[in-house]
């Protein structure tokens, strides 16, 4: 029986994951994204797999397109999956002079869709990627067909206030750089959390840790921490959702909210708050999963995603949360 979120020793990590995947069978593409206001032209690395209508997969903070490794095959039977590395993550250019605030990054995602010729496609966003996709949908509804938000932040939290205060302390950036540079692979191992930690491997540690060991990779990561993950923009995001709810406008695109019942990184309570703000959303609780359910609960997550993406346009999109966690 798995003990949830029990992290093993880094020294015991296998070279390769215990479960095979198709990430290295995906087609790598390099595209130039005209980022528009606040962004220079940026080289983006994208992994492509499958056949069918386009489906954009947006990863979260400190991860990369590699995080989607287990869904390429099952989703690729139905869709052509496009999984970019966000700016400054993985193999994409950092654009360190750019504006990394949520609305600016959301606009970059829309420009990436244009560069890939997939505007208006369905989107799955994980963690920070789900938050950015919701911001994009609110700003430009025609950019997204249907949206799956897998366990995103988006609600102001005291810990984000504390993080911002800590990052403003003199020398904080240098200290963080030193902590990561001491052993980037161990840093990645310690800061990615799965319900079943046996999914980890040295392969994963390299995919997430190696970019952080570079100057641009660390600087991009720091910009996400200091510019993207802020309570101010999240307060504005919540205010916009409340305003839409007040006037019974609903969310501008069909939305599925999928949250794990337990998670040490993004509190599941955020899912209940978003469900309350967007009552027309389809809401799914995932058991025995983390906010990386596409890794540690792949089959259940993919089944829920495909069922949602294939719903008739006018089908109801709501599901009650468990009574113990109901909004």
Domain boundaries, the chain: 23-157+230-311
CA distance 55 to 90: 20
Q: Using one digit for the tens of pLDDT, what is the confidence trace for 103-160?
A: 999 999 999 999 999 999 999 999 999 999 999 999 999 999 999 999 999 999 999 9
pLDDT per residue as tens digits for the range 53-106 = 999 999 999 999 999 999 999 999 999 999 999 999 999 999 999 999 999 999
Q: Would you list the DSSP string of 74-121? A: HHHTTSEEEEEPPTTSTTS---TTS--SHHHHHHHHHHHHHHHT-TT-
Instruction: Report residue 36's pLDDT band, with 50, 70 and 90 as the boundaries.
Output: confident
Q: DSSP characters for 178-212? A: HHHHH-HHHHHHHH---SSGGG--HHHHHHHHHHH
pTM over 0.75: yes
Phi, psi dihedrals of residue 271, rounded to the nearest 5°? -60, -40
Q: Which CATH class is domain 23-157+230-311?
A: alpha beta
Q: Which two tokens stand for residue 182?
A: 């001491």
């Amino acid at each position: 029986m798995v003990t949830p979120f029990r992290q093993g020793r880094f020294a015991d990590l296998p070279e390769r994951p215990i479960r095979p995947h198709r990430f290295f069978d995906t087609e790598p593409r390099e595209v130039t994204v005209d980022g528009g206001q606040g962004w220079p032209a940026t080289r983006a690395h994208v992994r492509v797999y499958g056949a069918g209508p386009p489906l954009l997969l947006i990863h979260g903070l400190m991860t990369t397109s590699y995080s989607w490794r287990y869904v390429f095959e099952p989703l690729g039977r139905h869709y052509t999956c496009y999984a970019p590395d966000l700016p400054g993550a993985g193999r994409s250019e950092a654009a360190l002079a750019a504006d990394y605030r949520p609305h600016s990054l959301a606009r970059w995602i829309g420009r990436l869709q244009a560069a890939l010729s997939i505007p208006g496609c369905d989107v799955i966003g994980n963690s920070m990627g789900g938050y950015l996709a919701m911001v994009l949908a609110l700003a430009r509804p025609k950019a997204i067909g249907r949206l799956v938000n897998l366990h995103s932040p988006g609600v102001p939290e005291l810990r984000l206030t504390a993080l911002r205060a800590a990052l403003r302390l003199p020398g904080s950036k240098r200290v963080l750089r030193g902590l990561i540079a001491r052993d980037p692979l161990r840093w990645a191992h310690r800061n990615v959390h799965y319900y079943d930690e046996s999914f980890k491997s040295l392969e994963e540690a390299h995919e997430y840790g190696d970019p952080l060991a570079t100057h641009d990779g660390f600087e991009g990561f720091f910009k996400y921490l200091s510019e993207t993950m802020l309570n101010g923009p999240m307060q504005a995001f919540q205010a916009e959702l409340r305003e839409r709810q007040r006037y019974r406008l609903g969310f501008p695109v069909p939305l599925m909210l999928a949250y794990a019942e337990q998670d040490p990184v993004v509190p599941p309570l955020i899912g209940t708050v978003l469900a309350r703000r967007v009552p027309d959303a389809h809401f799914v609780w995932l058991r025995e999963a983390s906010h990386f359910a596409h890794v540690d609960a792949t089959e259940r997550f993919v089944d829920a995603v495909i069922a949602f993406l294939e719903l008739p346009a006018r089908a109801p999109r709501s599901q009650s949360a468990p009574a113990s966690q109901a909004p």
